[in-house]
Each structure stands twice: as structure tokens, then as C-alpha cells.
Amino acid sequence: MADPSTTPPLTRASVLAAHSLIKPYIHETPVLTNTTLDQLASTPRTPEELQGTEWEATERPANPKIRFWFKCENFQRIGAFKARGAFHAVERLKQTEGLEGLRKGGVVTHSSGNHAQALSLAARENGIPAHIVMPTISPPPKIAATKDYGANITFSGSTSTEREAVTREVIEQTGARLVPPYDHPDIILGQGTAALELQRQVAASLSTSGTTNRRLNAIISPCGGGGLLSGTALACSDLSPSDPSTPGPILVFGAEPSFSGADDGRRGYYSGTRIESVKSLTIADGLRTPLGAYPWSIIYERKLVAGMYSVGEEEIKKALRLVYERMKVVVEPSAVVGLAVALFNEEFRSMVEREGGEEGWDLGVVFSGGNVELAALGRLFGEE
């Protein structure tokens, strides 16, 4: 991989530069709104709905006012935000290593699917061999898509330790340059470009509608390895008051599944110690990885993320169903964890009520991807 010491500083300015670099290769994905989901989020949950949850003894359910802005990275190339980081990493390697050198050994990564597809696509468009290490439990559609992009696939176990061990073997055999799925500055800067677009798109929409007394107050992003969340935090840092697309500070929050310890980022954030190993089979399969060291430095050490929240599997399923039925868009379970937090996590909802007051918040929600196996969806909802 590119030497981290040669990468640009981890700042909003560097995210802006990354966006200029990858703009020819990515889609500016749409931002959608949905009145029904706004109304659901802005209605207190009933005692019956809270029964059986950790908030069942709550005397007064939260009553926030939330207006959602959904950044639809499910419409990004390869169906996920990962295209942004992969193209940026490859473009940076081309600058430092030269294209011909990369074509000799290729690039390599380990990924359960979305980053695998993203790097395979970026490599194919540059005539670079791609070597991908994928866990055997990766969703079949993601494996098939990665093969379709021309990648050479090697399978591994599901934990990060097992993935990394096989990746080292591939590097020894091929001389390929590592492009990590999340724990590298170039990846983080690329992922942050989604939040840049979201800021500008929301500001433009509000301006067009003549709404001058509102702005984007916060963004909530799913967190697995932390590349998207930390990139989003960088994109919302050091905001200039003179920039019309960012008329005020934008808070950033992380969202994780709580199932079987998948909320390592949240637990580490509040304990002050990064958790380096996770083994979870949450339905949000893109969020099964531990928080990386570089994302941790941004999220926790620099305090650029205002809070971390988690939700259970049932809440994720409910949010997924709502998006399918009310918005009519295809997303994967990992993509709706932020929405699930806003709808069902009383701690988050109480915070929004307290901070937003009567006016409420305009809340950006990053739909991280839409690569979902239809048969898996059938099994997921067939269990209900």
C-alpha cells in the first residue's frame, strides 16, 4: 500500500482534493427524502413498542423532530460507497508507484464483498491485476460480482486475523500492493467524499425550496472498520463559515449492530480503548470488522465523532423493511443501521430531542450499499 507517511493530511481539505481526483470515476449519488419516515421518527414510541427493550421502564419516550436526508450510496458504482476509497487508493498508488509498476504485481485486499468489488473495478479500469481474499461466508452475489470484474479470488476464514494471514501469503506469492478495506488514510479520504456531496446537495435543496432557517445538523453513518465514519467526520471538520454548502457545524455519529459484540466501536469509544478483534454473525455483514487504527485516531482520539450508538437485529430488520416498503429502494442490512438508530434507539432520540428542540434536526443518513442476496432477504423476512 502507499506509505502512510506520504499520504495527504487527514483534513477536510484533503477530502476535497480526493473528490477532485476520483470525480471522473464515481457517481454523484442522489439524496432522497421520505415524509413517512420523517413522521415515524418524529413520533414517540408507545410503551408496547418499548416493551422487551432496554428502555421499557422509560417514563416518557423521546419525542424528537427529525427530517431525514438519505445519501444513497446503494446507487454508487459496484452498489456501495467502497468505490470511492478504492479508486482514490489506486489513483494515489499510480501517483507514487507508477502505473506500469502496479501492472506487474497488481493490488490485493481482503474483504467480505463491497471493497472486493470496488478494488476489482478500479484495478480493471487501469489494467491492473486484482487479488482478492474473501471469507468463505461472503454473500454469493458479492463473490460472483467480484469474479465478474476479473479478480483472482482466494478464500479465507471469517475473522480479520484469518483474512490478513491469507493476504500476506498472496503478497509473498505475487508482489501485489496492499489496498486495505478501511485502515489507511487514502481509503478514509476517499470515503469522506460522500459526505461532501451530501452537504452540498442538502444545502442546494433547502436553498431551492426557499428554506433559509434550516441546515444539515448531523450525519449518522454505519461503522464497521470505520473508514466511512472517519471519512465523514473529516468531511464535517474545519468547516468554513463562508462556505454556503456548510453554513454551520455538522455533528457526526456512528451506528453499529449490537449483536454478538459487533458494536466494538461503541464499546471502545466509551471505554477509551480500541477493541481489535470481533467475531459476529450479525445480519449487517458489512459491519462485522473491528474498528481500524487510523479510523480510531479520528473517531476517538481527535473526538471528531460526537457519539456512537447501536441497535439489535430486530430493529435493523424493521428499518430494512421500512426502506423497501416506503422508499422502494434496494439496500443491504448494513446500510440501514443508522436509520434504525434514529428510529429505535431511545438514547439517540432523546439526544436529538434535547439538542434540536422544537425546530428539530435535519439528519443525513448514509445508505452505505445495496449489495444484498435476494434469497437471503427471503430467509430474513420469512422468519417473521
d(CA 152, CA 51): 49
Over residues 279-310, the pLDDT tens digits come to 898 999 889 889 999 999 999 999 999 999 99
Cα dist from 267 to 87, 194, 310, whole Å: 31, 26, 10
Q: Determine the distance from the C-alpha atom of residue 231 to the mean position of all C-alpha atoms in its chain, rounded to a whole number.
A: 9
Give SS3 for 134: strand
65 in catalytic set: no
Q: Which of 71, 82, 142, 317 is catalytic?
A: 82
Q: Which residue has the higher pLDDT, 138 or 257?
A: 257
Over residues 302-343, the pLDDT tens digits come to 999 999 999 999 999 999 999 999 999 999 999 999 999 999
Q: Which of 14, 71, 111, 112 is catalytic?
A: 112
Q: In what order do the strands lie in the sheet with 130-135?
A: 152-156, 130-135, 107-110, 177-178
Buried b (16+ CB within 10 A) or exposed e, 241-257: eeeebbbeebbbbbbbb
Rg (CA), the chain: 20
Give SS3 for 109: strand
Over residues 40-91, the pLDDT tens digits come to 999 999 999 999 999 999 999 999 999 999 999 999 999 999 999 999 999 9
242 in catalytic set: no
Answer for the pair 369, 81: CB distance below 8 angstroms, yes or no.
yes
At residue 228, φ and ψ (nearest 5 deg) are -70, -45
**Would you give the end-to-end CA distance of the chain in angstroms?**
45
pLDDT of amino acid 246:
61
What are 134-138's contacts with CB under 8 Å, separation 24+?
Answer: 134/110, 135/162, 135/163, 137/112, 137/281, 138/112, 138/113, 138/285
Q: What is the largest CA-CA distance in the chain?
A: 65
For strands 251-257 and 218-222, give the pairing: parallel
Going along the chain from its start, the domains and CATH numbers come out as 30-75+192-382 (3.40.50.1100), 81-186 (3.40.50.1100)
Mean pLDDT of the chain: 94
335 closest CA partner among 33, 146, 74: 74
